Amino acid sequence: MERGDVTAVGKEQLIALTTSDFLSNEAPEEKNSGLSAWEQATEVLQLTQLGVDRSSWAAFWVTEHGYLCYANEGACQCLGYSRTQLYQMNIGEIDPEWGAAKWDQLWAAVKLRGSLTLETQHQRADGTAFPVELTANYVELKGSAYLCCFARDITKTKQAEVEWRHQQERERLVGTIATKIRQSLNLPEILQTTVDEVRPLLQTDRVLIFKFNPDWTGVVSVESVNDSSFSILAQTIYDPCFNRSYVEQYQEGRVRAVTDIYNEGLDECHIQLLSQCQAKANLVVPILFNQELNITANQQLLHHQFSGYNTIATSQLWGLLIAHHCQGTRQWHEWEIDLLKQLATHAAIAIQQSTLFERLQLANRELELLATSDSLTGVANRRMFDEHLEREWRRMLREESWLSLILCDIDYFKRYNDNYGHQAGDACLQRVATAIGDAVRRPGDLVARYGGEEFAVILPNTNRTGALQVAEAIRMSVRELGIPHSASGVAWMVTLSLGAATAFPSPNGEPEMLIAAADEALYEAKAKGRDRLAHSTLQRR
Q: Where in the sequence numbering do the catalytic residues fall?
A: 453
CA distance 33 to 5: 40
CA distance 535 to 520: 9
CA distance 134 to 201: 31
Cα 266 to Cα 217, 254, 353: the distances in Å are: 19, 15, 35
Nearest 5°: the CA angle 500, 438, 303 is: 120
Count of CB atoms situated within 10 Å of the CB of 435: 23
Non-local CB neighbours of 194 within 8 Å, separated by 6+ positions: 177, 209, 222, 321, 343, 346, 347
How far from the centroid of its chain's Cα atoms is residue 379's Cα?
A: 41
Cα 44 to Cα 11, 16, 58, 71: the distances in Å are: 15, 12, 21, 20
CA dihedral 112, 114, 120, 126 (to 10 degrees): 110
CA distance 373 to 368: 8
CA distance 448 to 371: 13
Non-local CB neighbours of 158 within 8 Å, separated by 6+ positions: 131
Q: Which of 445, 313, 456, 448 lies closest to 384 in space, CA to CA?
A: 448
CA distance 67 to 107: 12
3-state secondary structure of 105: helix
CA distance 474 to 420: 24
CA distance 323 to 318: 17
CA distance 218 to 238: 7
Sign of the torsion angle spanned by Cα atoms 38, 44, 50, 53: negative
Instruction: Give the β-pairing of 206-212 and 317-325.
Output: antiparallel
Non-local CB neighbours of 64 within 8 Å, separated by 6+ positions: 1, 107, 144, 145, 146
CA distance 490 to 411: 8
